[in-house]
Chains A and B, each alone.
Chain A
């Protein structure tokens, strides 16, 4: 072993990106016929007329549902939780279900021409009453978004452990917290887009798409179009971020593939930002009500959660509309000991853009819930906020949670204590006092959480998913010139995965990472696999790479033993060479050449191996501390300090890992203070530009102080735990706890995020009014 794992190796991905030479989907689409989608302007209604523009120039096409009779619906399945199988037509025939839903495709030589023509297309719709928010959808007698889902509930999970009632009956204190989480858009800087190109020689279509799961996308399109999967190749080139949004099978992609097959050419759709903000996928539009029973020492006796998630108009393929409500349902207790748990979670359909996973999925919301609850409980019980957390954190492992998950070795208490010490809370209190005397309002907030990562098939199967993702497969081989090619089913989109995997493989084979090539993102060149989501690639893809490399190492040792006339056990691989006994050695490149060209020397020899990896999952953990200043006049919040103690097990590349945490926190800060998708009462999306949907810049995101702990878990072969989502999970809770702390003297308590300036102003005004109204 030469110890590449653990080093901040510069990324092999970077030079091409820095030269502007790396190709993204739109770069490859130049010259293809342009596709634009006609989208419904109304949230709900019956299609009365849909006709092409009167003057269609030669080469232009107008495609509606009538042209695609063979296309089936997008219909993800969940085999439990009272799931109602909502279907999404690729293009609708009768009704539209949200403003932005694609209704027809218009093809022209250029995107400008296609857009001009769209204005002339005839689309008449008899608008119907739309249900937009949770209240409207759940009101008795509310219009049904889909007839298959009575009461607009598409999925429902409920659990009540014995002992919940008794715990509440004997509680010293019952603490309640009801709150709302605003709707977000993952907002990758590169929007969605695809280029479908027909190969006349083979009859196959290559879809180049900005996606996270090329193999699954291929399966989904083939199923919808009823075509042989072998006739479709899906390629994810450089992908400009995804964060979950690009996992789904969106209706635009089957339309592109259909066009390429039907019209034997190349067709490209590059989404514009307005489409991305209003019609791709949204997340985290949720409302929760919590009740918790505590004893006099601050011990949590029972937790009860009522969870509502607005899942939009359809169910996202393949993870379904259960992904948000059911994750909140299963993971609410987080890192805390909850002896008795009751929960009910419902996924509620509305006439809004469909929900899809976004970094952290429901965990930013449940962490906000439970961490704000802990602060409220501390106040109600007159306890210290750190002490109440320490009392309730899981501290012996493995720990089986109320919902049957096993928490493996972690550092919940240690990370909290380390973060509290680094934050110097007594020192902060003194500064807070002094600042208050100057009329400045400072606050400090903490959040503790765990992050389920690297889970394979069993975890997804437990959800009852009709399509069960989980495993990853790696094909590894050494070329005759001695480089290693690893073909992975996972598909990175900006994380630096190729660099990290090359470090793992280089260590196992005693090579330089530069001699390792990672082949990814192409269904023709990689084994079937799932992709990059749920903080899993480093853990599962990395684990599979390690296993595959170990098998290849065995083959190399066996071959070297023949040449060096020793036994395989005597052979070690290091510095690009195979060493036998008495330091006799052979360069791996030489060995590779012999293996390929003189296989007569070896019996039945090859330098190719395959390995699959499918772990049960693990939990990384972290503690975040935010220090903020709130301006009560403007409602503005400035983050003065942000510190993180993170434990993600073995870190493969610290620089990349830190980048993941920092990037996640920036998205968490956005979630806490800035970003919200807003709908008008009629279902029109009001946040259709980046001027309305406010993504923070470097003026709003502070320096993040990062500290690491490394609890090595036996739950994964590399010891790595995965950390792609943690930053986004911890930040809303820490920041909103800090804002509440800053305004505690007014009795203000943040129960809705993002805590935007107008919301904070409203809270301050209401608090001041109620103070004045006091006799």
Chain B
């Protein structure tokens, strides 16, 4: 089946089998391998992308469901010349990653948190980020990174 959507602002078309997941379509048809697969059953959150502004598990959606949608992936966060955005810089400064496998999912979830109309507070941050799993960091660095980015962007309520 043919699907048309945008990824990180650029229009795309893909020819996919109806059963192909959104994650596989992004990775294989679009070559956007920054979206990772940690479980393919909706628990780990490594595959989190933003679809029309909301975080979704790309392993739990079919590619064909993305018809007409605006998708954002980790590849869209940095500037075209590779300069990291504020959230990415905070992850580096506060040791928000080790192996980096879970990181794209956390970055996209946190991007959504930082773009919501409400400022971010500690409880909301912890509650929302508890949707994803990281096996390396013990989470403290991830929380510190998101907190610092929210502060830098004037999005921290605390």
- Cβ of A124 < 8 Å from any Cβ of B? no
- Please report the C-alpha to C-alpha distance between residue A26 and residue B28 in the assembled complex, in whole angstroms: 10
- Taking CB atoms, residues of chain A closer than 8 Å to B92 are 10-11, 14-15, 18
Number of residues of chain A lying within 8 A (CB) of chain B? 55
Return B152 CB to nearest CB of chain A, in Å: 15
Contact code string A689-730 (vs B, CB < 8 Å = 1, else 0)? 111000101111101100000000000000000000001000
Q: Interface readout for B122-155 with A: 1 if CB under 8 Å, 0 if not?
A: 0000110111111111111111000000000000
Are A666 and B39 neighbours in the complex by a CB distance under 8 Å?
no
Task: Determine whether A187 belongs to the interface, using a CB cutoff of 8 Å to chain B.
Answer: yes
* A240-B99, A689-B39, A695-B133 known; A18-B140 Cβ under 8 A: no
Query: Contacting A241 at CB < 8 Å: which of B77, B88, B98?
Result: B98
CA distance A385 to B92 in the complex (A): 41
Determine if A27 is an interface residue (Cβ-Cβ < 8 Å).
Answer: yes
Given contacts A18-B91, A20-B32, contact A494 B98 (CB under 8 A): yes
- Interface residues in B11-34 by Cβ distance below 8 A to A read 17, 19-20, 27-28, 31-34
> In the complex, what residues of A have CB within 8 A of residue B137's CB?
659, 662-663, 666
What's the nearest-Cβ distance from chain A to residue B107, in Å? 7
Q: Which residue of A lies closest to B43 (CB)?
A: A690
Residue contact B130 to A19, C-beta cutoff 8 Å? no
Number of A-B residue pairs having CB atoms within 8 Å of each other in the complex: 175
A698 touches B99 (CB 8 A): no
- Report how far A188 CA is from B102 CA in the complex, Å: 10
**B142 contacts which chain A residues (CB < 8 A)?**
698
Q: Is the interface of B mostly helix, strand, loop or mixed?
A: loop
- Inter-chain CA distance A465–B36, complex, in Å, is 37
B97 within 8 A of A: yes
Cβ–Cβ < 8 Å partners of B64 in chain A? none
The answer to whether the Cβ of B157 comes within 8 Å of any Cβ in the partner chain is: no
Contact B133 A18 (CB under 8 A): no
Identify B41's interface contact among A24, A663, A690, CB under 8 A. A690
State whether A15 and B135 are in contact (beta carbons under 8 Å apart), knowing that A240-B100, A494-B100, A691-B41 are contacts in the complex. Answer: no
Which residues of chain A have C-beta atoms less than 8 A from B131's C-beta?
697
Q: A19-B74, A666-B138, A698-B142 are in contact. Are A189 and B99 (CB under 8 A)?
A: yes
Q: Report which of B41, B73, B134 forms a contact with A273, defined as CB distance below 8 A.
A: B41
- Count residues of B near A (Cβ-Cβ below 8 Å): 57
Given A189-B135, A698-B130, do A15 and B82 touch, yes or no (CB 8 Å)?
Answer: yes
Q: Beta-carbon contacts of B50-88 to A below 8 Å, as 1s and 0s?
A: 000000000000000000000001110110001010001
Whole-angstrom distance from the CB of A273 to the nearest CB of chain B? 4
Q: Is the CB of B97 within 8 A of A695?
A: no
Which residues of chain A are near B44, meaning CB under 8 Å? Answer: 189, 273, 690, 695
Residues from 226 to 244 in A contacting B, C-beta threshold 8 Å: 238-241, 243
Are A30 and B100 interface neighbours, CB within 8 A?
Answer: no
Chain A positions within 8 Å of B38 at CB level? 189-191, 273
The contact of B133 among A26, A662, A690, by CB within 8 Å, is A690
10 A-B pairs with least C-beta separation: A20-B34, A494-B99, A240-B101, A17-B100, A662-B138, A20-B74, A666-B138, A27-B33, A698-B139, A699-B130
Given contacts A19-B84, A701-B140, 10 further A-B contacts (CB under 8 A): A10-B92, A14-B91, A19-B75, A112-B17, A189-B44, A190-B99, A239-B99, A496-B98, A662-B140, A690-B39
